[in-house]
């Protein structure tokens, strides 16, 4: 099915679905790239590499390669004097690994200029350098200006993305199809799409074609979606934490702000992308049947803890409040 032949989605919704294939934001002072494709070069901390990866396992896993970031304490305490150990992990400095300076103490102890090193400039081998640095400014020492070396120009900011945010181009495409289908499975999606610019005929046509495509691609197994808390028994899209049926108005409505604390350029909508199993090292969880839509507030509560752990914490909080006499079904806040 040619997606471009379909009637267009409302712009805000189309953009929201498209952005699910991008990574989270990153500041200029961070090592990570800001809002780029999840297929980008992956950055893997050295301890994570030794625990979860080998060169053979990583070969072909990442569409645009990877860079292993080695802490100075590991490199200079033993790897520098014993390069065979680095090689045993399938790593070569300047080829698929860089020393990553994060503190001024590390920088002063092992000045890369004194070692004849250059800051890396390429995300593909050869990396055109041996190190990268992101060190905050400080007033507690002389020469305390921030140190940002490597991947620091306008056209080349950030060395790569967080390893756990990675997804292949195919997975990104499948996730976008499934996530749009979940919009159409919201209880009021047709009316809301029409209210936001689609004609009744175009909304009906696009909804039917997207759901049909997802059936063909095995992206609309309702038993699986129910089992992972993405839809409910009525087949309607729900928030994975609170399980409330979602109104698709939340895709277009900005978050309410407290009086006197408004942010004029706020772009956060009431409904956000929601990972069922949290993003973490050792697995790639940006994938079909692990992504849903949920309330912004519920997403903030879960953070990186995961749904079940969060529910356990919420239950403990509720039980303590009930035991303390602060909460009951008859005195809950209105």
pLDDT in tens, 163-220: 999 999 999 999 999 999 999 999 999 999 999 999 999 999 999 999 999 999 999 9
Question: Does any domain span residue 64?
Answer: yes
pLDDT digits (tens, 9 = 90+) for 81-140: 667 888 899 999 999 999 999 999 999 999 999 999 999 999 999 999 999 999 998 876
Question: Does any domain span residue 110?
Answer: yes
Q: What is the pLDDT of residue 179?
A: 98
pTM over 0.75: yes
Question: Does any domain span residue 7?
Answer: no
**pLDDT surpassing 60 at residue 333:** no
Question: Does any domain span residue 301?
Answer: no
What are the residues whose beta carbons fall under 8 Å from the beta carbon of 180, sequence distance 6 or more? 9, 17, 210
pLDDT digits (tens, 9 = 90+) for 42-80: 999 999 999 999 899 999 899 999 999 999 999 998 766
Under a CB-based contact definition with an 8 Å cutoff, are residues 36 and 161 in contact?
yes
Count of domains for the chain: 1
What are the residues whose beta carbons fall under 8 Å from the beta carbon of 145, sequence distance 6 or more? 137
Q: Which two tokens stand for residue 188?
A: 């009021």
Going by C-alpha positions, the residue among 132, 154, 126 that lies closest to residue 43 is 132
**pLDDT surpassing 70 at residue 282:** yes
Q: Which two tokens stand for residue 173?
A: 């495409």
Provide the residue range defining the domain that includes 80: 41-159
**pLDDT surpassing 60 at residue 266:** no
Question: Does any domain span residue 297?
Answer: no
Question: Does any domain span residue 87?
Answer: yes
């Amino acid at each position: 099915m040619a997606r471009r032949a379909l009637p267009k989605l409302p712009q805000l919704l189309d953009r929201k679905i498209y952005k699910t294939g991008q990574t989270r934001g990153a500041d200029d002072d961070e090592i990570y790239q800001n809002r780029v494709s999840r297929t980008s070069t992956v950055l893997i901390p050295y301890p994570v590499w030794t625990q979860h990866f080998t060169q053979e396992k990583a070969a072909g896993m990442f569409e645009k390669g990877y860079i292993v970031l080695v802490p100075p304490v590991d490199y200079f305490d033993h790897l520098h004097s014993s390069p065979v150990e680095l090689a045993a992990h399938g790593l070569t400095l300047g080829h698929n690994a860089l020393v990553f300076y994060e503190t001024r103490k590390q920088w002063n102890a092992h000045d890369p200029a004194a070692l004849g090193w250059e800051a890396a400039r390429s995300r593909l081998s050869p990396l055109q350098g041996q190190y990268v640095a992101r060190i905050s400014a400080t007033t507690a020492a002389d020469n305390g200006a921030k140190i940002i070396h490597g991947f620091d120009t306008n056209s080349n900011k950030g060395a790569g993305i967080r390893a756990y945010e990675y997804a292949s181009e195919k997975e990104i495409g499948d996730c976008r199809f499934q996530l749009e289908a979940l919009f159409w499975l919201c209880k009021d999606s047709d009316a809301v799409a029409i209210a936001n610019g689609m004609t009744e005929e175009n909304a009906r046509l696009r909804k039917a074609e997207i759901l049909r495509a997802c059936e063909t691609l095995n992206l609309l197994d309702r038993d699986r979606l129910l089992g992972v808390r993405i839809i409910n028994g009525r087949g309607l899209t729900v928030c994975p934490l609170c399980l409330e049926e979602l109104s698709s108005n939340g895709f277009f409505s900005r978050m309410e702000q407290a009086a006197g604390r408004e942010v004029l350029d706020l772009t956060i909508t009431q409904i956000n992308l929601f990972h069922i199993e949290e993003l973490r090292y050792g697995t790639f969880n940006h994938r079909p049947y692990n992504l849903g839509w949920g309330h912004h507030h519920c997403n903030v509560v879960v953070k990186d803890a995961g749904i079940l752990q969060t529910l356990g914490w919420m239950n403990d909080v509720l039980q303590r409040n009930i035991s303390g006499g602060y909460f009951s079904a008859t005195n809950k806040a209105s």
